[in-house]
Amino acid sequence: MTTGAFGIRLQEAMAQFGPLCVGIDPHPELLQAWGLPLDPDGLGAFARTCVDAFAGHVAIVKPQSAFFEEYGSVGIAVLEETLAAFRGSGTLTLLDVKRGDIGSTMAGYARAYLADGSPLAADAITVSPYVGFGSLQPAIDLAHDTGRGVFVLTLTSNPEGPSVQHANRDGISVAGSIVAGVTAANAAARSAGHLGSIGMVVGATVGAAVADLGLDLAGAKAPLLAPGLGAQGADAAAIQEVFGPAMPAVLPSSSREVLAAGPEITAIRAAAWHSWPVTGTPSGP
């Protein structure tokens, strides 16, 4: 069971460890590079090494659900164990599942990942708003009720993204409507002066898109997940250019560049530090 709103807990973790979000992406290529078999045993060994490397050393980790799901029920069991291992470590979990549906189905997804007692419960999840922002309400409501968070896809770095996200209707872009929805969902946090629990996913490599679309990311009081640091081409200067005054809320995210340093735990931690220097004192060995 969580204690306190996700936005507040995230702010505290960022103050202790710095803003870096490390992806836990057990790509087949990474397992092979680590000398691990492409089977559930290799997946489990990879995940346990990530727990040992990051728990109590970074603010937040982002397991990519797809790379666990591809092993079937045994892979899901490894994901459950991984999420459980981070609980209480001081490092939060953001499960990258990108769920998006309507009505009772969205409510079912919300219970799977955001309900107290669920074996797949994470501190936060990613969601897709492209069947309408209002379809996310069951997840937003449950996240608020249980002290968890939701990160809404807003501006992604894939080349197909702008055809949808930049599209304009009645003078507002699709991305702009998502920012407006997130801003409204964080109204109570904004009034209280702390980071909200409803975040956004904005690619670190989207360049001038935030400015071109006139998006007020800072005003949304939202945590901002910024995938693309390192292997995908973004550096600190590029992230500063994208986010500007919203930088205090940004979680630069790196996975492959950090994990490629494995399987030695000290080397993985060093790679995380070099990708975006952490601060504070680790809570464990």
Q: Is residue 162 part of a domain?
A: yes
Q: Please report, for the domain that includes residue 40, its CATH number.
A: 3.20.20.70
Q: Is residue 281 part of a domain?
A: no
pLDDT of residue 279: 52
Written as tens digits, the pLDDT of the chain (285 aa) is: 777 999 999 999 999 999 999 999 999 999 999 999 999 999 999 999 999 999 999 999 999 999 999 999 999 999 999 999 999 999 999 999 999 999 999 999 999 999 999 999 999 999 999 999 999 999 999 999 999 999 999 999 999 999 999 999 899 999 999 999 999 999 999 999 999 999 999 999 999 999 999 999 999 999 999 999 876 677 888 899 999 999 999 999 999 999 999 999 999 999 999 888 655 444 444
Query: Which residues are tagged catalytic?
Result: 98
The number of beta carbons lying within 10 Å of the beta carbon of residue 126 is 26
Residue 16, C-beta contacts closer than 8 angstroms, at least 6 positions apart: 59, 90, 279, 280, 281, 283
Q: Is residue 92 part of a domain?
A: yes
Q: Is residue 238 part of a domain?
A: no
Place of tokens 């937040």: 60
pLDDT of residue 230: 74
List 187's β-bridge partners, or say none. Answer: none
Domain count, the chain: 1
pLDDT of residue 235: 87
What is the DSSP pairing of strand 149-155 with strand 124-127? parallel
Q: Which structural domain range is residue 49 located in? A: 6-223+260-274
Q: What are the E-state strand segments in 53-159?
A: 60-63, 92-99, 124-127, 149-155
pLDDT of residue 277: 61
Distance CA 271, CA 165 (A): 33
Q: Is residue 51 part of a domain?
A: yes
Q: Is residue 239 part of a domain?
A: no
pLDDT of residue 3: 78
Q: Is residue 247 part of a domain?
A: no
Write out the H or E segment, with its range, that includes residue 42.
Answer: helix 40-54
